[in-house]
Amino acid sequence: VNNTSRTLIVTFFVFFLLFTGLAGAATSPESTCKEKHIIFGFFNGVKTHPAQAWSSLLELRKIHGDYNLRGEKIKYRTFYNSTLGFADFVETFEQRAEEQNGVLKGRYELFFDAINGGGGSWWSSILKVLPNQQAVLEAMPSAQAIAAQLLAAQKTNTELNYSFHKDTIDAAVKTGTKLLFVAHSQGNLFANAAYKYAITAITKNGIKQSFGDVYFSPESMIRMVHIAPASIETHGPVILADKDLVINGLRLLGGGVPSITDVIGGYFLRPAGINGERDFLGHGLLEIYINQKMPIANSVKSAIDSELNSLNPPPCGMEFLFQATITCDFVKYPYGQYSKTRHLLRAGYHHDVFGQIIVNIRAVGGLDDDAHFQVISGVPKSLTVTSDTMKPFPWHRRDAWVKYDFEKKSVTASFKYGKFFTDGYGIACTQTEPVLVWARSVEEVERTDYSSGSLITW
């Protein structure tokens, strides 16, 4: 290819890139942006094993459905916390089972029901023929003992220390996804910390308080519902039963808790919960608070529905700031050998390179699966190209289209350049420090595939 032909080709590509780049930039994010979904985050209570947490979440989904009244999709998610000293309860069970003539010794299938007071059918059958085994149940953790645990948890869980919870919240905040935290018992301690973290993250990450003429309050996109809260700190409606012996115990121990909101029947008047068990402590989520046979479940449902329907999304086109790292790949060029890290070029020549440079932006932390961003600012105006002769070659960003990579859990931005030259032996693109990138959420990202000229839509 002689110089004239090469110049023509390059000129064609420069115009092609200019045209397609402008066409992409002309797409208004505001016009394509639609409201994001809602994350329904469930923070489980004390003595909740993983399967119970999933069960609770699925029960909540049965009650509240997959869409709110606005037709916004609700995605259900656990924010799991385990119970400190759960294994100690096993020792208690074992000791007391041995003490009672050892009749129930080794029957650990009775354990989970026992820690709720043994209201299930297996225990009922056993107590009918062996009433003295009631002593095993009575040895299980009392309301006071659990309250003491919650009091200790109150003092130690004032900040969010769970990195997975933080990542999930970060991803939601960055995408403008609305959050509803529903917390039960001990889960309120973690949910409170998560709530404050999220509010701070929004502010820290620079959601603008006003967008055009629209005022936006971060609190309107994150709501909480507190069920049997083990803390006086609340950020939303509270539902607390009068005969919740655990929370009453916590109150007696000096742990601050909110006021009672609902009256429930005595133990013998309560219908079994949806797990077939009755909690004599009056504290269980499945047995009491979302037991659809008990009126208190209506209070919980109303509170959650109300919050689900009043969450406000950030305005369309809301801008978010996220930290990103940038690396560069040179995908093809006319001369030299391809290398991920070093791009050897023939010495002493000028090289025309067009449509070959991909700059990857990776968000620090994950992003939501259906997040699309258009980078709008914050990317360095120029990156440094170094050559073996150490002659810098700056080039300028024309546009950046960003895509979430499902497998890599990262954001990739493709930067396209019409052309650049180098006369070194090799070139490398360097940008080692993370940068803060402004991005705008859009429903759909269109990008031009410069190598084929076809339009690709993610």
Q: Which residues bind other proteins (CB under 8 A)?
A: 41, 49-52, 54-55, 57-59, 61-62, 75-83, 86-87, 90, 94, 103-104, 106-113, 120-122, 125-126, 129-130, 161-165, 167-168, 273-277, 286
**CB nearer other proteins, residue 26 or residue 129:** 129
| Shortest Cβ 408–other proteins spacing (Å) | 15
Q: In the chain, helix, strand, coil percent, each to 5?
A: 35, 20, 45
**CB nearer other proteins, residue 59 or residue 244:** 59
**CB nearer other proteins, residue 55 or residue 325:** 55
| Shortest Cβ 347–other proteins spacing (Å) | 46
Phi, psi values for residue 126, rounded to 5°? -65, -45
Residue 96 token pair: 């007391």
**CB nearer other proteins, residue 291 or residue 412:** 291
| Shortest Cβ 121–other proteins spacing (Å) | 7
| Shortest Cβ 281–other proteins spacing (Å) | 17
What one-character-per-residue DSSP string does 288-344 give?
IIT-TTSTHHHHHHHHHHHHHHH--PPPTT-EEEEEEEEEEEE---SSS---SS-EE
| Shortest Cβ 445–other proteins spacing (Å) | 22
Phi/psi region, residue 109 (left: phi>0; alpha: psi -120 to 50; beta: rest), is alpha
Residue 43 token pair: 């923070």
Distance CA 37, CA 39 (A): 7
**CB nearer other proteins, residue 97 or residue 383:** 97
Radius of gyration, CA atoms only, the chain: 30
| Shortest Cβ 168–other proteins spacing (Å) | 4
Number of H-type helices and E-type strands within the chain: 12, 19
**CB nearer other proteins, residue 57 or residue 318:** 57
Q: At 237, is the secondary structure helix, strand, or coil? A: coil
